[in-house]
Structure 1
Amino acid sequence: MTEIVKRSARAILLYDEELVLIKRTKPGRAPYWVSVGGGVENDDPTIEAALHREVFEELGGRLDRAELVYLITDELEDGIGVQHIFAARLESLDLAARTGTEFGKPERGGYEVVHVPFTAQAVRALNLMPPELAGFIAANTEAIASVLGTPIRET
């Protein structure tokens, strides 16, 4: 059996009827978008607790609810990485309260919080990383919204 050497917790994060993402800009690379989240740390009691911590660090946000909906496995040199993808609803957002260390490191590039319509068409128009996540979201917008208790109307 291959060992899991890295875990991360990420959110398909809805705020009202919009998807909240981070737009990454780095010198010499085209902009791309990522979901909110990051690595699970040793002192995180659970993977979901890691997600709550990451949402606060990156957005100054608090989650209303989160449901595990998808896993992505990454082949790494010394084992595998598993990205635990949650569908989550954002209860509050305060960018002034975010605490992530990456925001104070200009050499890591830009981290712009963006809101996009939660539709398959809008997700497909982005360079959302990883591509597996983009495909999953685009194929499952109605199911994800339903899990979170908010039907979304495709426009």
Structure 2
Amino acid sequence: MSTDNAHEPVFVRSKWGTNRYVYNPHNPAGLVLIVFSLLFAIGAMYYLQSSSKWSDGELREAVHQAAEALEAVPMQKSEWTDHIDYSPLIDDAIEKTGKGPSYGVQVSQVDDDTNVYEITADGADGVHCMTITEAAEQAVRYYRTVHLGVSVEDHGC
């Protein structure tokens, strides 16, 4: 073999007993490919780590958009149901906003008798307080249409 690096192949057979081809560090192009592969792997790991946690801004925006979505659509409520736990609806509305990761949101009801919910998320320091009020509009048979009034405060309940 010559000492001129331009004549070295970019790929060589692995010397570790496998039959695979690997980048050749003795070729300038092979060395560049090794460096770019490492930088790409580091960047991908950083992106995955940063996109798996909620930021305070993402959570705030998602909670406010979810409140608007809950107010926009009337719902049907049975006349036999005194109290509805809106936690799953809030969680779904937050997920449908598309902000932040699709997991890690905790919605907890502050008191069993009220519609006050505290919302937190993994990675975010912010806590939001959502209060839901019901305004019954129209009764049809055993169901009534309920419009929700939703208010959000950017602090704990």
- Structures share fold, TM-score greater than 0.5: no
More helix by share: 2
TM-score by length of 1: 0.27
TM-score by length of 2: 0.27
More strand by share: 1
CA radius of gyration, larger in: 2
